Amino acid sequence: MDVTTGAVLPEECIATIISFTSPRDACRASLVSPIFRSAAGSDLVWERLLPQDYQQIISESVSPGPSSSASLNILSKKDLYFHLCDTPILIGNGNRSFAIDKLSGKKCYMLGARELSIINIGRRITSFWEWISSAEMPVLAQSRFSEVARLGLGHWLRIRGRIETQILSPNTKYGAYFTYAIADRNYNLHHPVKLSIRYENERNATNAHLLPDTPEGYDGRLPSMREDMWMEIEIGEFFTDQVDSVVEMCLMDTACDPCKSGLVVHGIELRPK
């Protein structure tokens, strides 16, 4: 076939071939010739590159405006793909978000703070969390959710999230990331925490530090700053090779005595690696 003219195969056949590649290859193919550009941008291609259950997912959207279910349904499949890559949508009760990984087309989910089990036990005084609306954020980062959790005062932390693997992309290695911020007024958050992830009968745990400026000699993972101004730290990874399983992710304090404050919890994000 002459790729400069596409004279041998009709456009629909070219689109069918491209649909069996990847999002990156589809974009590259659009540079070959005008007929390839038309074929690579067709709904036939991007319908196949979207997750199989994308229609069910966007029907659950509770996001307003351009990310509402009605607005998403009128987009071309290519525009829908890239909208979901760039703009996570809130689904269900609004405490989870869904997006697509731009390079692979795999599903990404985030469990908002309200979707997590956040427990603290005070030894000498009552521990408590404050629920802060997005309009009253105590940090520069802006939340995609209506509320985040801020630790007002506590001696001991346990933050836990669970997700069913059946809603994730199959046969995919995922990373789980705790996303958070540190309020200007904070103390005793320099103590290490324990991160663990459990999948089926396997559990992996590691030490980590919530503050990026941890003194030398401390062992454990350190956080990184995201583009959206939240910090994140990897909890662990797992492979979705089983059906109807549950992944449990946990952050636990390792120092119960010091009273601590100022941790702002955004959520736990799961995305392909």
pLDDT, one tens digit per residue, over 255-267 is: 666 788 899 999 9
Asked if 231 and 221 count as a contact pair (C-beta separation under 8 A), the reply is no
Which candidate, 114, 84, 99, 109, places its Cα nearest to that of 165? 109
- Number of folded domains in the chain? 2
In this structure, of 154-168, 170-184, 226-240, the range with the lowest mean pLDDT score is: 154-168
Distance CA 44, CA 38 (A): 11
**pLDDT, tens digit (0-9, with 9 covering 90-100), for 1-18:** 444 444 568 999 999 999
152 located within any domain: yes
User: What is the CATH number for 215?
Assistant: 2.60.120
Q: Note the pLDDT of residue 192.
A: 86
Please check whether residues 118 and 251 belong to one and the same domain. Answer: yes
Asked if 259 and 188 count as a contact pair (C-beta separation under 8 A), the reply is yes
Q: What are phi and psi of 220, to 5 degrees?
A: 140, 170
Q: Note the pLDDT of residue 189.
A: 87
89: Cα separation from own chain's centroid: 11
69 located within any domain: no
The domain in which residue 34 lies consists of 7-49
* Residues 6 or more apart in contact with residue 55 via CB below 8 angstroms: none
In this structure, of 29-33, 151-155, 248-252, the range with the lowest mean pLDDT score is: 151-155
Please check whether residues 152 and 258 belong to one and the same domain. Answer: yes
In this prediction, residues 65-79 reach a mean pLDDT of 95
Please check whether residues 117 and 29 belong to one and the same domain. Answer: no
161 located within any domain: yes
- 46 compared with 183, residue with greater pLDDT: 46
User: What is the CATH number for 27?
Assistant: 1.20.1280
Please check whether residues 44 and 159 belong to one and the same domain. Answer: no
**pLDDT, tens digit (0-9, with 9 covering 90-100), for 241-256:** 867 789 999 999 876 6
Residue 165 has pLDDT above 90, yes or no: yes
* Residues 6 or more apart in contact with residue 149 via CB below 8 angstroms: 113, 114, 116, 118, 129, 130, 131, 132, 264, 265
Mean pLDDT of the chain: 88
**pLDDT, tens digit (0-9, with 9 covering 90-100), for 118-135:** 875 444 444 588 898 977
Please check whether residues 115 and 226 belong to one and the same domain. Answer: yes
Percent of the chain having pLDDT more than 90?
66
Please check whether residues 22 and 150 belong to one and the same domain. Answer: no
254 located within any domain: yes
- Encoded amino acid at 229, one letter: M
Residue 171 has pLDDT above 90, yes or no: yes
19 located within any domain: yes
Q: Note the pLDDT of residue 156.
A: 77
The pTM assigned to this predicted structure is 0.89
